[in-house]
Chain A
Amino acid sequence: MNKGQQKVLDWLKKDDKKPFKFQEEAWSYYAKGYSGLVNAPTGFGKTFSLFLAVVIEGINLANTKDKKKAKDRLQLIWITPLRSLAKDIARAMREVLTELELDWHVGVRNGDTTQAEKLQQKKSMPEVLLITPESLHLLLAQKGSSTLFETLKCIVADEWHELLGNKRGVLVELAISRIKGLQKAAKQQHLRVWGISATIGNIEEALDVIEPDLNAKRIIIKAKLNKKTIIKSILPDDIETMPWAGHLGLKLAYKLLPIIEKSKTTLIFINTRGQSEMWYQHLLNLEPELAGRIAIHHGSIDFELRNWIEDALHTGLLKAVIATSSLDLGVDFKPVDTVIQVGSPKGVARFLQRAGRSGHSPGETSKIYFLPTHALELVEAAAIKEAAKENNIESREPVIMVFDTLIQYLVTLAIGDGFDDKVIYEEVKNTHAFKMLLPQEWSWLMQFITSGGDSLTAYQEFKKVVKDEEDGLWKVKGRQIAMRHRLHIGTIVSDAMLKVKFLSGGYIGMVEEYFVSKLKVGDSFTLAGRILEFVHIKDMTVIVRKSKQKKAMSPSWLGGRLPLSSNLGTVLRKKYNEVLNKTHQEEELNAVYPIFLVQQERSHVPRNDELLVEIINNKEGFHLFAYPFEGRLVHEILAALVAYRLSKLIPITFSLAMNDYGFELLSDIEIPMDDAIAYEVFSPENLTEDITLSINSTEMARRKFRDIACISGLVFQGYPGKYVANRHLQSSAGLFFNVFSDFDKHNLLLRQAYDEVFYQQLEEPRLAAALHRIQQSTIVITHPKRFTPLSFPIKVDSLRANMSSEELEQRIERMKVEVFK
């Protein structure tokens, strides 16, 4: 046993604690120079498994070497996906360092860090730096940053499963590749890279992404600890009172009051920020006694307010907090003993993660209530219960070949100390995300940022990244370009946001510019649980005062809809069968049984080996509903495919809608459908070709391009409070999509938009499997007189796509302009 480890064990013993086995494993593998992944449930000291590993090494090295110069002290970079995590982790780390009498500093660097603190860090880095992926890239965008990492021993990506499945994970991969490269160039290779992840279906792959070098020493350390979770649904007294569609669920809100009352502290998870504001108001109306004892927490609430709420959670001041995914992760709020999930979490992993926010300490049990927002969600509740019981946890598919993120990264490096394209090409090629990158794609990317287009058209006036003749590195010389780029580093795309501030001073949070544009002076809206009156906009800030009104509208923030995971889809189909056969165990399914009877009476309840197609005609038009139960993403593609194949039969125009259970085609003329046509349009034959054509004729790729245009820097979204007005440079992603489609077909960003539809959304094997399953099934076509429990939620969905095989002019003739009367 070495000195450092002894010191840590002594310290733990003093508190009557001893390390978990997986923690000791992590310390020992780290000491032997391994990189890897720690897989442990929250609340079991996964932070200490790696933090202490680095600390032990630090204690052992402390006396063997002279004290380093102030400038190169950095030992550990700790990447967290959420800003709110950093503060608490830093606090815990500082406590440990004091106890162990190790003279290390812990610094936090993210969007909430003050300018003064950042400057201080630049002068002298702390030994431990807690940072978000975006801030890490901002660090790389600083002049002089390439010398910061020479003493760095370890990079830890905390909550790696949260970053893995999206472009933020690619930001982490690229930053690691650069830091490794810098150490290599300085002949200082001592970096080990570790991830900390909750259980996911593809844990091996998660390791390949964070440490892609197969020759490196790599290990996965699993904590063999069982976390007990109790799951309970909140059932309506009478299913007839439950709506057939909806996402809000206020009907059952009164049932939460006794739960909140008998718990110490309750976290209530709501799926969107807008709905969380409504829930807050509603709970206060139901029980005015709760005033001052409940709070609301989401990403658009001001930093200071969020801090206050988090502190109040720690100290147990609050009875309940209404939260969105902003409180999903990591931080240990000890007083929380109950969690309520409102509406479907859409995946088992997310549900269990949220459940884990209660009973956070080792040995305690997590308790989570599920509150359905509409009747059929009860079946989903039963499916989640079963999937959770069987630990049927989803995979997080890593993102690959995202040229937008790579372009952003290259410009980031060019703003910092500049880069050598040959060196960076090798580094990028060695990441998991870009291991398939071709030399010609690389040269296209280089031309895109240096000459503004392909080799055929070198534009003399294009100025972004230029070669520095002195050192031969690619750099950005324009201050404006550099400033604009810094403001939008990152891959989370949202609408332009404005800060909201009281007339008398004090920030409350942020709302989207679009929402503000609809406000008139004197209008009231809710934010952070307060009712505010709009006064005016000044310097890109929304000025408000307290409103006297009792009720007000809630802002809506743009956000994607979560699709049902495929794991859950399969279980869901099984549950439908069980209800039909009355072989089910769950009380949720008892409650929902009357709805099944209505479905059966009006149409049919599909069994596992059946596909139900409903044809409903009303004054709106001709509806075709189909229910494959494959999840929203697959249904979006499937709807386009079926619409495309039908539109080859006759000239026809469709409007498409979908949810996790099925999809709708709506037309103004009768839709051709019989048994023969049904099997044909759901056939797996010619699949690849037909999908390509159907995707091209809808707007799916165009929608994907919205994010791509922002991330790659084509469209500037602005930044809350730091909006740079430049009228002459305003444009939209849609415009760029048109321009590239018409004038620059080989643009890789355009290709990426289609690839994102194909590979990330389509999951072609999953679609093919679904179609094969349907071919083996009996297709049941019914003609209900009225909407059914299955069709109604899809019908009311307003997010729609279009598909047409008609002449535009003929369509226009039947249509009308909206007219002011």
Chain B
Amino acid sequence: MNMGVNLCGVELKNPVIAASGTFGFGREYDEFYDVGSLGGISVKGLTRLPRLGNPPHRITETPSGVLNSVGLQNPGVEAFIEKDLPWLLEKGAVVVANAAGSTEDDYCYMAERLSKTGIHILEMNISCPNVKEGGVAFGTRPESVYHITKAVRAHCAKPLMVKLSPNVADIAEVARAAQEGGADAISLINTLTGMAVDVRTRRPVLANVVGGLSGPAVRPVALRMCYQAAEAVSIPVVGMGGIETGEDAAAFLLVGCTAVQVGTANLHNPYACPEVVRGLEAVCAQQGVQDVRELIGALRLD
């Protein structure tokens, strides 16, 4: 059975990528299994300079979901290039470098800097809901998505994947804007903005007051948005949002995604990614599918 897919020119061993922010740089999970066996690893969101992130609390549980506001804590792009990237490449991992910034100049710099390294795909994060400047501010209006994608495109020698926010009125329009700006692929959804309140103390649970909701709670919304985005563009779509099993992943492929990312599931199950790979293989076997690519966009609407 073939599980490999081609994502904008990059061969993935299978369509399952670990999602940014839930997987660090892969080292913690490599204690449990060979992270090089995954389709890819989208690393912790990187910025030009090291970032401290938000004060605690940064996480809380909601029904079938998780609300977080880490605020892009990361050691900075140079530390990643020096310490973590060589290790990931040695593992044979397809490295998706998730990059964020506060200004257009930051994003262009990140694209240029990371293009000079061995990363495979640049995932431009214009959808982080947990930082004051930049992040999602670039990702909510189609005009600004087009503008920043076009600007970064000129500085990016790697396949450029734009990670979209679900906190928009019309996801199809935003997806088209990324494509028109020159994106090679889009990934979605980033978290849905949410909030939790401790009634006893009358305070927000998260120090940042609001955070991003992920996990199975958002899966139907994510699936719908991936369906609409895949209908709207001709570039590959990488789907995510609450995927925990092979069946979940198959649903995202059926609505038109070329690959999927698994995020929140890593937080409670260190084996979540390889289990999704095996589960997807099982779905293919049950359906007599010889090549996982047969599932992509095979949704029946008749």
The answer to whether A and B come from one shared complex is no
Question: Which residues on B are within 8 Å of A, measured CB to CB?
Answer: none
